A = this chain, B = another copy of it.
Amino acid sequence: MSENQTKYTAKDFKSDQEVRWCPGCGDHAILNAIQRALPELHYDRERYAFISGIGCSSRFPYYMNTYGFHSIHGRASAIASGTKSANPNLSVWQITGDGDAMAIGGNHFIHAIRRNIDINIILFNNEIYGLTKGQYSPCSKFGSVTKTSPYGTIEHPFRPGELIIGAQGKFFARSYDGNIKLSSDIFVAAAKHDGTSVVEVLQNCVIYNDKTHEEVLGKENRDDRIIILEHGKKMIFGKDGNKGLALDGLKLKVVTIGEEGYTEDDILTHDAEEMNPGLHMMLVNMQYPEYPVAFGIIRRVKAATYDDQMVEQIAAVQATAKIKCVDDLLNSGATWDVE
């Protein structure tokens, strides 16, 4: 895509619509993060299209002063795929919730990812259906008590990153609502990546699933329970910056530098661009308390995108085609004259 001069501030992306999320909802922060990210991207404002399904999170497009489409539940990936194919010159963003993307929208979601169509999917994961007032989602923790699971769920939750990689995901990153800087940096990277990029943002629903991420993201302990990965950098974390991830056979292991003989050299260096998904899979699957939860860009690998190839294939065929218009077509092949 062609790029222009920076000319926007976050404010330019605010629409005139009153923001209607609950006070304290994590969605507000994510909205801020996107509005902060876009000015970094140098696209003209009219080239953005924000497309969502249904859910609290999916109200998002109304709050963006860009083109927007608040569609129907679960179908945003398909609609966004159509929009991007129809006009590859647009910067297309899908906004979706854990229910919207992974319950009813699961099929379109994995197929968009498989096709590697160049859209940016921001997945607001609050592990609950917010808009319908608190039923469990496919991401709710095992045993969650919700309105439809009064005795606790009996379902194993999806781990979004794992499913995405299983669906041939080429770009996966994780952030959380509270970290606007991290989110906004990741959104910029996601937009710059060619192909489907999925960013899971852990988001707090104050009303129906308050503090679901607290164990990991609570301010107290956060530094010891999360790791923010950066491509090319050592996998180091912790309040004191002395913990790290090392390899133990085929598994990952948390070690403390300077203890049990571990030095910084033993710590793995993050390679987001490795094609083989093995290690990335382990990283997305890390769960507290055994591991810190991984944030940042976990996987970012290059591959042909659907929209580019569509354009190229059409151009290649047209370059040598005999049929240039419908009249040509109608008169092509077997015809005969009646006189």
Contact = CB atoms under 8 A, between A and B. Distances in A.
A282 interface: yes
A278 B281 contact: yes
A19 interface: no
Interface in A127-150: 138
Contacts of A167: 158, 163, 166
B251 A110 contact: no
Nearest to A106: B107
A311 to B, nearest CB: 10
B156 A166 contact: no
A316 B154 CA distance: 13
A240 B111 CA distance: 41
B115 A156 contact: yes
A304 interface: yes
Contacts of A168: 156, 158-159, 162
A324 to B, nearest CB: 17
A277 interface: yes
A276 interface: yes
B115 A111 contact: no
Given A138-B111, A162-B168, A279-B250, A154 B306 contact: yes
Contacts of A165: 162, 166
A61 to B, nearest CB: 24
A306 B168 CA distance: 27
Contacts of A115: 155-156
Nearest to A195: B156
